[in-house]
Amino acid sequence: MARKFLYAVAILIMLGVASMFAYRLYGIQLMRQFLVPGGDAADLPPVSPRDYGRAEMWIARPDKPGNPALWAPSGQAPGANPRAALFFIHPTSFLDTKQWNAPLDNPDANARAELFLRGQASAFNASAAIWAPRYRQATFGAFLTNKAQAQKALDLAYRDVAAAFDEFLHEAGDRPILLAGHSQGALHLSRLLAERIAGTAVERRIVAAYVVGWPVSLTADLPRMGLPACAGPDQAGCILSWQSFAEPADPALIVDTFDATAGFTGAPRAGTRMLCTNPITGKPNDSAPASANLGTLIPDLNLQSAHLEPGRVPARCDGRGILTIGAAPSDFGQYVLPGNNYHVFDYSLFWANVRADAARRLAAFQKRAG
């Protein structure tokens, strides 16, 4: 399984669905029935920053052999001596229905996490040395229920991420810092910004924070996250976020959950706008044609590699803050989630533009720092 390249997790999400017809009619109900664990979330012992001093606690770090974040498609290469340090929090790769949190040594979850690093964190490897921790992530089913056990599982996962971040700060030294995550990883990153970074000396070292695949309320979340939303492509010290949908887009599953919660300010998120950064232009609430897309990461037929194709996918911020990508692109159809949600591909649709964006913002940060 470790040799499979990208998006295998999306296939597994569909397991347990009796037929595609039934899935389209009752998809979320069936997912909740089959994928939400029963019982309580275990009271697991905490980890400390000292635990993350061990190389085996990281999926990627600069001194680790076989670092999956150093992968690059043909024509691209990781930087020889990156100037910045990236803390990357991978998305959900644990699909177990018997446990709420992934064991750190779960081979399937770790193999899938490596796949995600190849397709997501790799976009930053020209600009930054990459650290990506293992953490006791909440299982996929925790996002399909409002049970108290789900929040307990997410809290445990976040505490692991926070401990890893403390060790990352020690390891990274005085380098400029990039932050990035996806899905569950972006959820933990947004909380890390609000609880551990905002108002601290670390905040002044942040080049940019890519909170991708998780909604950020402009009024109920952003004011407590320390950094502002990125207003332009050459700005440093700011936050980017987007969620990708083909047309016709139906983000109801995300919006309904989002509207039922309160933000970091304590205010309700209901009815508020979500941060939408166009990853092609680096501007908020912007539109860009496919011709401006520098390269979408396309998996090969055998899923063991991928290549870049420029000019494939447009992007436009729409509605309350959803990124629409036009008509459904080919090569991805069987991995799309309900509502034409291209969540799995939030980074890979714009891989080359994300790469250029990180380099541009790092240059702006260094110019500002003198």
- In this predicted model, which residue has the larger pLDDT, 6 or 253? 253
Q: CA-to-CA distance for 292 and 92, rounded, in angstroms?
A: 30
Describe the strand order of the beta sheet including 58-60 as a list of residue ranges: 58-60, 128-133, 84-89, 177-182, 206-212, 238-240
Q: Are strands 287-288 and 315-318 parallel, antiparallel or unpaired?
A: antiparallel
Whose tokens are 């420029």? That residue is 310
- In this predicted model, which residue has the larger pLDDT, 14 or 226? 226
Q: CA-to-CA distance for 35 and 338, rounded, in angstroms?
A: 16
| Domains of the chain with CATH codes | 8-242+350-369 (3.40.50)
Q: CA-to-CA distance for 322 and 357, rounded, in angstroms?
A: 20
User: Please, are residues 209 and 112 in contact by the beta-carbon 8 Å criterion?
Assistant: no
Question: Mean of the per-residue pLDDT values for the chain?
Answer: 88
Q: Tens digit of pLDDT for each residue in 17-37?
A: 323 333 444 455 555 555 677
Q: Tens digit of pLDDT for each residue in 334-352?
A: 678 888 999 999 999 999 9
Task: State the burial class of residue 64 (Cβ atoms within 10 Å of its Cβ: 0-12, 13-18, 19+).
Answer: middle
- The secondary element (H helix, E strand) that includes residue 247 is strand 244-247
Q: State both tokens at 291.
A: 């011709």
Handedness of CA 99, 102, 104, 109 (dihedral sign): positive
Is 4 a residue whose pLDDT tops 50? no
For residue 299, list its beta bridge partners: 306
Predicted model pTM: 0.91
Q: Tens digit of pLDDT for each residue in 166-220?
A: 999 999 999 999 999 999 999 999 999 999 999 999 999 999 999 999 999 999 9
State the pLDDT at residue 15: 33
Q: CA-to-CA distance for 141 and 61, rounded, in angstroms?
A: 29
Q: Tell me the percentage of the chain whose pLDDT exceeds 90.
A: 71
